[in-house]
């Protein structure tokens, strides 16, 4: 057990001021109409969505569903994570169990061997995943780690019909180019929150460093996977600003995590999300980023609880199996949930593109 005393809950922030023109009940459908016609939800509307009352939740979700349905039909894409190097990270991200400031009881190991990574890829296929995510805990990859990833990716792609997403920390333009040349399809590097709130969750690197890594990956021809975390003490304005920044960056794949405030991390015990908050977060992300692949990520079992299936009316993808240092629910439960919704799992390169343009 951790010896770290529980951190006091983040001070509650003043409610986000909402512009006078707050959309009312019937307006959520009108916003969906506008987004479907190629227009955009405004910042004020996105803020109003997050602040909307529970009585409007189904209207909000219905608006998100219409947009999700246009781009992805009833398909669900599964992603499989492999924690290829665990713990031992010199950074101080306060939400992360692998950081230098975490006492969390997690496995700590260096980069896994090639056979173990190949076995992970096999498991990804077995679990009907479209994408195999190779994740290491690091500020950025060492030369040895870059070499190992660049060697294993062509081998995986020769054996399995998988997209590869690499999450290796901060990357230089040269490193991004090497990953693209090795066959990596996409790089994950989460913004995590807004520029304003970022210094409150990490001091060893900055928001601008993260944006620079995304820019380097884009310049190298890689697709971008970048999202964030709800429940770290941020305001609703921080969430909307992050979503808007992801839109500006034209990020193709957006994982939205719900803070699992793991014992031993500085944010231990601090998350106070309701399942309805999580649904509003997913719906806002969908309406701001209509054609992006939006993924219900870590913390879904804990925070969405029995409302998990409803999240898929806004999001169109999920992780299957375990997360980096925590357990997910059994894959069979995910398959059953998808089937009971009348949705179908899709995989393969064609699923990476929206069904129709924005």
Contact window for ligand SF4 (CB under 6 A) among 2-10, 75-83, 87-95, 219-227: 87-95
The residue within the footprint of ligand SF4, chosen from 76, 84, 89, 104 (CB under 6 A), is 89
Angle at 188 between CA 39 and CA 227, to 5 degrees: 45
- String marking each residue 122-161 x if it binds ligand SF4 according to CB under 6 A: ---------------x-x----------------------
Q: Which entry of 66, 68, 93, 210 is annotated as an active-site residue?
A: 93
Q: Which of 66, 68, 96, 280 is catalytic?
A: 96
Is residue 295 part of the annotated active site? The answer reads yes
Query: Could you tell me the two tokens for 317?
Result: 């993808």
Instruction: Give me the least distance between CB of 150 and ligand SF4, in Å please.
Output: 20
**Least separation in angstroms between CB 9 and ligand SF4:** 21
Rule CB under 6 A: say whether 257 interacts with ligand SF4: no
Selected catalytic residue, list 66, 127, 133, 278: 133
Q: Is 167 a catalytic residue?
A: no
Question: Which of 91, 234, 241, 252 contacts ligand SF4 by CB under 6 A?
Answer: 91
**CB of 85 or CB of 127, closer to ligand SF4:** 85
Separation CA 263–CA 19 (nearest Å): 38
93 catalytic? Reply is yes
Q: By C-alpha distance, which of 93, 109, 111, 138 is closest to 262?
A: 93
The single residue among 77, 98, 325, 346 that binds ligand SF4, judged by CB under 6 A, is 98
- In the set 68, 127, 178, 295, the catalytic residue is 295
By C-beta, is 169 or 255 nearer to ligand SF4? 169
The CB-based long-range contact list for 336-341 (8 Å cut-off, 24+ gap) reads 337/308, 337/309, 337/312, 338/76, 338/312, 340/309, 341/74, 341/309, 341/312
> What is the CA angle 186-302-344, rounded to 5?
55
Q: Which stretch binds ligand SF4 (CB under 6 A): 92-100, 109-117, 256-264, 272-280?
A: 92-100
Query: Which of these is catalytic: 165, 202, 217, 278?
Result: 165
Provide, rounded to whole angstroms, the least separation between the CB of residue 344 and ligand SF4: 33
User: Which residues in the 160-199 window bind ligand SF4 by CB under 6 A?
Assistant: 169
Smallest distance from ligand SF4 to CB 252, Å: 21
Among 32, 93, 171, 243, binds ligand SF4 (CB under 6 A): 93
Is position 202 annotated as part of the catalytic site? no
Q: How far is the CB of 319 from ligand SF4 (least distance, A)?
A: 16
Query: Between residues 70 and 139, which has the closer beta carbon with respect to ligand SF4?
Result: 139
Which residues have a catalytic role annotated?
89, 93, 96, 133, 165, 225, 295
Residues that bind ligand SF4 (CB under 6 A): 89, 91, 93, 96, 98-99, 137, 139, 169
């Amino acid at each position: 057990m951790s010896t770290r005393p529980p951190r006091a809950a983040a001070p509650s922030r003043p409610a986000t001021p909402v512009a006078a023109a707050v959309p009312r009940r019937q307006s959520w459908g009108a916003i969906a109409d506008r987004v479907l016609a190629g227009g955009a939800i405004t910042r004020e509307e996105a803020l109003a969505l997050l602040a909307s009352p529970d009585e409007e939740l189904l209207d909000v979700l219905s608006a998100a569903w219409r947009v999700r349905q246009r781009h992805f039909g009833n398909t669900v894409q599964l992603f499989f994570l492999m924690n290829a190097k665990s713990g031992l990270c010199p950074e101080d991200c306060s939400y992360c169990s692998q950081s230098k400031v975490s006492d969390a009881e997690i496995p700590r190991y260096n980069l896994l061997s090639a056979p173990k990574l190949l076995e992970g890829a096999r498991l990804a296929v077995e679990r009907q995943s479209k994408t195999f995510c190779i994740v290491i805990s690091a500020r950025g990859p060492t030369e040895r780690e870059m070499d190992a990833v660049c060697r294993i990716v062509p081998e995986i792609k020769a054996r399995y019909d998988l997209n590869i997403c690499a999450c290796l920390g901060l990357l230089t333009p040269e490193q991004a180019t090497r990953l693209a040349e090795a066959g990596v399809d996409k790089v994950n590097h989460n913004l995590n929150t807004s520029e304003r709130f970022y210094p409150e969750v990490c001091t060893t690197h900055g928001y601008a460093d993260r944006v620079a890594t995304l820019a380097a990956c884009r310049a190298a021809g890689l697709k971008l996977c970048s999202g964030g975390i709800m429940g770290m003490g941020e305001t609703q304005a921080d969430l909307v600003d992050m979503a808007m920044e992801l839109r500006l960056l034209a990020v193709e794949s957006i994982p939205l995590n719900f803070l699992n405030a793991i014992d031993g991390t500085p944010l231990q015990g601090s998350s106070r999300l309701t399942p309805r908050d999580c649904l509003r977060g997913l719906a806002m992300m969908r309406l701001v980023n209509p054609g992006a692949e939006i993924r219900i990520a870590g913390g879904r079992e804990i925070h969405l609880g029995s409302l998990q299936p409803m999240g898929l009316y806004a999001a169109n993808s999920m992780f299957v199996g375990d997360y980096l240092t925590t357990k997910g629910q059994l894959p069979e439960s995910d398959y059953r949930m998808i089937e009971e919704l009348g949705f179908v799992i899709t995989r393969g390169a064609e699923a990476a593109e929206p069904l129709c343009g924005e």
